[in-house]
Amino acid sequence: MQPSVMEALAPAFTLHRLDTASDPDALLAQVGGRIRGLAVNAHAPVDRALLGRLPNLEIVSSFGVGYDTVDAVAAHERGIVVTNTPDVLSDEVADLALGLLLATVRQIPQADRHLRAGLWPAGSFPLTATLRGRTVGILGLGRIGRAIARRLEGFGVAIAYHGRRRQADVPYAYHPTLLEMARAVHVLMIVAPGGPETNGIVDAGVLAALGPDGILINVARGSLVDEAALVAALQAGTIHSAGLDVFAREPHVPAALAALDHTVLLPHVGSGSVHTRAAMGQLVVDNLISWFSGKGPVTPVPETPWSPGP
């Protein structure tokens, strides 16, 4: 958890640091029964086993919009509220998504490497692919997906989306299945949540449907993509290239993926500006303070049992 969160929590609560404990098991055995709130990073698993060791837990305040590492269903069964940090990061992640898309299509990092390696005098950088004339398909038209779509409008590309349902208030083409959308678009932009429902849905079939000019961009969770199938598709030229901010087993990135020069790989930095991480941290704190002052959570996830009452 970032220092600003720790500093804001310290005056309001008695803190027990599971993240820095030399023996987390012993700490849980010692203080587990007294823990009423959890502040967690989106990457730290809050599963049934951990919840079981915290019998008096009331709230899990998770840092990040994605909370696939928190077992919200198990929490719900226990009447535990789960909160996340939506909205405050949507524009930041959307900015990064567009940057990653442009970097991948126009090979911006590769051109930078070409210049730094002193190769320019010996020859121009090879011509690249283009965004012109492409249709971008967004997998998951939620808050971040919509922020990406708004930006894409300014780039003059056609926009399509796939999600659980058609959304009446957007002008973009809806595809009821992911496979159908993959066939119809040239860029697949993944912004859907991770978790069991979306695990591995971008598989070999979807990548084949995207086609040899296809570009995959993922700013959501690595779990949505069959990473082995992606490596195979990139190696075989079944798709053109990929820009990835997230991976199946972070911080591990398959060597085969890193060996491909036409990929652009980022170390999960979508929300990673000082400004936005501070806003996310503040929301983690606000949820805990609000809950323990009896005012309810600020940003509960849909699965939580919380209802503000009449």
Window 4-43: residues binding ligand 8YV (CB under 6 A): 41-43
Residue 186 falls in the annotated catalytic set: no
Residue 66 binds to ligand 8YV (criterion: CB under 6 A): yes
Q: Please, what is the minimum distance in Å from the beta carbon of residue 254 to ligand 8YV?
A: 19
Q: In this chain, which of 271, 287, 299, 304 binds ligand 8YV, going by CB under 6 A?
A: 271
Q: How big is the site for ligand 8YV, counted in residues (CB under 6 A)?
A: 11
Residue placing its CB nearer to ligand 8YV in the complex, 134 or 277: 277
Q: In this chain, which of 76, 106, 151, 268 binds ligand 8YV, going by CB under 6 A?
A: 268
Residue 34 falls in the annotated catalytic set: no
Window 89-118: residues binding ligand 8YV (CB under 6 A): 89
Residue placing its CB nearer to ligand 8YV in the complex, 160 or 244: 244
Q: Please, what is the minimum distance in Å from the beta carbon of residue 84 to ligand 8YV?
A: 8
Residue 114 falls in the annotated catalytic set: no
Residue 64 binds to ligand 8YV (criterion: CB under 6 A): yes
Residue 299 binds to ligand 8YV (criterion: CB under 6 A): no
Per-residue three-class SS string for the chain: CCHHHHHHHCCCCCCCCCCCCCCHHHHHHHHHHHCCEEEEECCCCECHHHHHCCCCCCEEEEECCCCCCECHHHHHHCCCEEECCCCCCHHHHHHHHHHHHHHHHCCHHHHHHHHHCCCCCCCCCCCCCCCCCCEEEEECCCHHHHHHHHHHHHCCCEEEEECCCCCCCCCCEECCCHHHHHHHCCEEEECCCCCCCCCCCECHHHHHHHCCCCEEEECCCHHHECHHHHHHHHHHCCCCEEEECCCCECCECCHHHHCCCCEEECCCCCCCCHHHHHHHHHHHHHHHHHHHCCCCCCCECCCCCCCCCC
Q: Please, what is the minimum distance in Å from the beta carbon of residue 19 to ligand 8YV?
A: 12
Catalytic residue among 162, 221, 240, 277: 221
Contact residues for ligand 8YV (CB under 6 A)?
41-43, 63-66, 89, 268, 270-271
